[in-house]
Structure formats: structure tokens, C-alpha cells
A and B are shown apart, each in its own frame.
Chain A
Amino acid sequence: MHASLSFDQAPPISVPYRFFLVAPWFGATAGILLVWAGADALGSRWTPEALALTHLIALGFMLQAMCGALFQFIPVAVGGNVWRPRLVANTVQPLLLLATLLLVAGLLFGRPVLLSAAVPLFLLAIGGFVTVVALALWQTPATGMTLWAMRMAIAGLAITVLLGSLLAEALAHGFAVPIVDLTNVHLGWGLGGWALMLLAGVSYHVVPMFQLTRPYPSWFTRSFGLLLLGFLLAWSSRLLLDDALWSPLIAYPLLLILSAYAGTTLWLQYTRRRKIHDATSLYFRVAMLSMLAFAVSGTVYFLRPELGADPRFVVWLGVLALVGVFVSAITGMMYKIVPFLNWLHLQRLGAPISAVPNMKKMIPADAMTGQLRLHVLAVLMLLTAVWQPGLIRPAGLALAASFVWLGCNLAGAVRRYQGFRDQIRAAA
């Protein structure tokens, strides 16, 4: 058993970076799509633009970044051995990229051929990824709630992709399936079962680590993942049960545990030992405040059906979840992971540590906080634009600009890595 314990610090640097470097440009594409589409884009969740935007962010940005981070995180945080990471990453990443472009184009232009073409690519890319990650997660001798959350998240990803594939085929071929219910179940697993489950599991590990907070209370970590899983299963039962009372009955407690997670995280940060603030801790705060706003809005949606009847209300929820919560949290994580990986791999070249530039030399702090401000501005503009369609183009521009800035910050970090590496090698 111990032989499978991976104590070595993870894969070649190219493995996470090939995902990280691509992700922001999908986000930038989402912004440009908004500028191009203009006022009608966010009129309802069912516009081709809204569906395309959702997946540019969910698959192009979030999934790319989260896959890259998992390759890094699994060995380091839970001692799991990922099988041939370089080979898997080199295969999965381009497939995922291509599949995402096909799906997005298919949704945007209503082309069945593109939707059908995307499905096998997703099944191959994510199927391979899920298999390799699941093996690593179930074979590690480590224990703990981060590990359990990651196991549940990877199962959530598998379910999301299967349901998404079914939806795509149904749209392409006009199968008689309950599209709306199926979409709601799909998005529940995608946003809750995969993205939030992973975010929570990773937070148990990194929030105390980056900010020296107390650990999440163990009653919380032990119940959160299971409750989330339980509510998602109940949420999925809408495919069978069609009762108007059922949805709010599941939604209220679900929104309550979201608030509990966000509130706990904010409270831990507030009472942390480390005094210093940085882009990562601020980004986490933005994400958690967005989650609270999401929970409040979600409650209003069910309490005041006359407001919820406006098709723009769900779009507002979508903006909060995707751009407010997940883009923020993921960007914050990347701003910590990338400088550290640069440092880690540079010091492995064998130079004395004093010759290795420290983490703060990898991405200028001002560039990170500047990008953070622009991102927050973009979120606020997008939220306003949901109700004021005249603002959609400027909001899209702000979104595109913030992602371009992120892309440049990350690319700059990689360039600096290469520069320092060459210096160290030349000195040796």
C-alpha cells in the first residue's frame, strides 16, 4: 500500500500550465461574444448566446483550469499517483479544447453536426481524465474530507458529462426527452456536484494553508459534501416527480448550505492569523460574497414567483455563479499556484535556494490586484447588464479585458520561469 504513496511533488510543470495558459482565452472569447451579440444575448437562459457563454466559461475556463490544478493537487495534497500525467494531459487537454469549441459553436449557431461531433470527443477526453483521476483518488492511502470531496466531485463530473452528452444528442437529433428538466439536472451536477464540491474540498485544504486560518470545523466538512450530494440526488428526482412544491423544498436547504459554506469561509478568513492580504485572499472573498448573493437571490426567486417569472432572473443567477463565484475562486487559486510552481521547479534545477527568485518575483503584485479590480468591475457591469441590455457590450468588453489581462499575467509568469531557468542553467 505504501508503495503507491506519491510523496514526490507532482508532475512536470508543463502539465498544469498547458491547461492554465489556455483557460483565460476562453473567458476572453466569452467577453467578445457578448460584445458581438449585443443587447439580446442575455434576454433569457435559452438564447444560443447564453448557452454558448455558459460553456465557454464552464468548460473553456473552469474545467480547463480545474483539470490542470487537479494534476498538481492530487499528488501533493492527497498523495495520489496520477498515471502518466504528461501523456494524459497532452491527450486530454487538446481534446477538451476542441470539444469545447465544437459544442460552443454548435449551441451558438444551432448546428446539430457540431453538437454530435463534440460528444465523442468529450466522452473520450473527460472519460479518460475521470478514469485516471478516480484511480489515483481511490488508491491513495490518505484519508480526510478533502479526499472525499474530490472523490464525489469527480463522480459529479462524470454524471455532468453524461447528461450533457445526452442533451447534446437530444438537441441534435430531436429526441423526445424532457429537455428543460434534464438541463436543470445537468446544471445541478455541473455547478454543484462537480464545481462546488471540488471548490469546497480544495478550500478545506488551501484556505487554512494560504491565510493561516483555523481549519473548517469538522462537523462542517463531514456534513457539507454529503448534504450537497443528497440534495443533488433529490434535485435529480425532478425527472421523475413533477410536483411544483418539490423544487423549493430542495432549493431552500441547498441554498442554506451554500450560505453556510460561504459564511464559514468568510468567517475563517476574518479571524485568520495571517494579517497580509493578497490577490488570492481577496479573490476568495469576492467568490464567497457572490455565493451569498446567489443564495439570497435564489431564495427571492422561489419566494416571489412574480419576480422569478422574468426570464432574466435566472440569467442573473447564472452570472453570479459562473463569473462571480467560480471564475473568481479559480483565478485566485491560479495566482497562488503558478508563482509557487515556478519557484518549486526552479529550485529543483539544483541551484542554491538563494539563487532562485522568490514567489513574489513571478507575477507583479500590482498586475494581480489590478486584474482583480477589473474582474470585479466586469462582474458588476454584467449583473447590471442583465437588467439594462444597453450595457451588455461594455460589460462584455470589461469581461474580455479582464481575461486578457489574466492571460497575460499567467503567460508573463511562464516567460519569467523560462528566463530564470536559463539564467540558472547558464550559471551552473
Chain B
Amino acid sequence: MSITTPLFQHHKHCDEVFARAEDACANADWVEGEQAFALLCDQLETHFSSEEELLFPAFETATGMTSGPTEVMRGEHRQMRDLLAQMRGALAARDSDAFGGAAETLLILMQQHNMKEENILYPMCDNALGASDVGASLAARLKAS
């Protein structure tokens, strides 16, 4: 298992939760929608902060690349947090269309982001951080959520 395997698996878990929230809100099942959406926000926040506070700093220290890929990833996390806020507003207003539109946008952004991490950034991290204990901290943090 590589350092980033837990993050990789956590992407799939977040997808699962996303699909539940999207489906419920599209069908105006607001009780299930609220629940799934709260879980989604929680899981994504844990994921983003694990990367921003553990993985990225370790990578930046190891490689000296502070303004490269990690910077772009942080920017995309910010965009995704903003979209989650839009979805929260739509959910509070019980507006299926607005929720669906923001969810669709979040989905594509999130998938693109994940692919870039999985195909490019995570392998770079595994190379740079092979012998460190970042992996254990990441696994512990994601498990705790």
C-alpha cells in the first residue's frame, strides 16, 4: 500500500455519498438529502484538510515545489467548498434545480480534480515521500472521520 492509497480510496467513498445526496435532492427527498449532504460536506472537508495540512506541506518540503501542482489543487478545493456552499443554500431553499445545477458542476470539478491527483500528483507524492510517516497520519485521519 502506498502513502496515498487511503486518499485514493476515500475519493471513491466521497463519490458514493455524492450520488446519494444528488439522487435524494433530485427526487425532493429532503430528509435523506439533508443527511447525505451533511455527510458529503463532512467527508470532503476532512479530505481537503488532510491534503492541505498533511500531504501537500510534506510534498512541498520534500521537493521544494511550493507554487506548482499543490497550489492548483488548493485553488480547486476552494472552488469546491464554494460550490458546496451553493448547494447548501439550494437545499435550505428546497430548490431541486439549483441544487442539481451546482451538484453537476461540483461533480465534474471534483472528478477532474481527483483524476489529476490520482494520475499525477499522488504518484509524485509517493515518490517523494516514500520513506516518511505521512501515510500513517493520513490513514488515521481519514479513518477517524
Contacts and interface: CB of A to CB of B under 8 A. Distances in A.
A273 B16 contact: yes
A142 B119 contact: yes
B101 A142 contact: no
Contacts of B116: 7, 76, 79
Most B-side CB within 10 Å, residue of A2, A7, A274, A347: A7
Given A79-B120, A340-B105, A353 B79 contact: yes
A8 interface: yes
Interface stretch (A52-60, A174-182, A354-362): A354-362
A274 B102 contact: no
Contacts of B108: 209-210, 336, 340, 359
Given A7-B68, A209-B111, A276-B23, A354 B119 contact: no
A409 B7 CA distance: 39
24 contacts: A2-B63, A5-B68, A5-B120, A7-B68, A7-B69, A79-B116, A79-B119, A141-B120, A142-B120, A208-B111, A210-B107, A210-B111, A212-B15, A212-B19, A273-B16, A275-B26, A276-B23, A343-B105, A353-B82, A358-B101, A358-B105, A359-B105, A359-B108, A360-B97
Interface of A: 2, 5, 7-8, 76-79, 141-144, 205, 208-210, 212, 273-276, 336, 340, 343, 347, 352-354, 357-361
A352 B82 contact: yes
Contacts of B63: 2
B72 interface: yes
B82 A7 contact: no
Those 4 A-B pairs whose CB atoms lie nearest each other, nearest first: A358-B101, A353-B82, A360-B101, A209-B111
Contact of B115 (A205, A275, A347, A360): A205
A360 B104 contact: yes
Contacts of A144: 119
Contacts of A5: 68-69, 120
Contacts of B69: 5, 7
How many interface residues does chain B have, given as a range? Answer: 35 or more
Given A76-B112, A336-B108, A359 B101 contact: yes
B85 interface: yes
A273 B104 CA distance: 14
Given A5-B120, A336-B108, A358-B102, A353 B86 contact: yes
Contacts of B83: 353
Given A2-B68, A209-B111, A360-B104, A354 B19 contact: no
Given A76-B112, A353-B83, A358-B104, A8 B72 contact: yes
A340 to B, nearest CB: 5
A347 B79 contact: yes
A79 B112 CA distance: 11
Nearest to A362: B101
A5 B119 CA distance: 12
Nearest to A209: B111
B65 interface: yes
Contact of B22 (A8, A76, A276, A340): A276
A2 B119 CA distance: 14
A418 B26 CA distance: 29
A292 to B, nearest CB: 27
Interface in B57-96: 63, 65, 68-69, 72, 79, 82-83, 85-86, 89
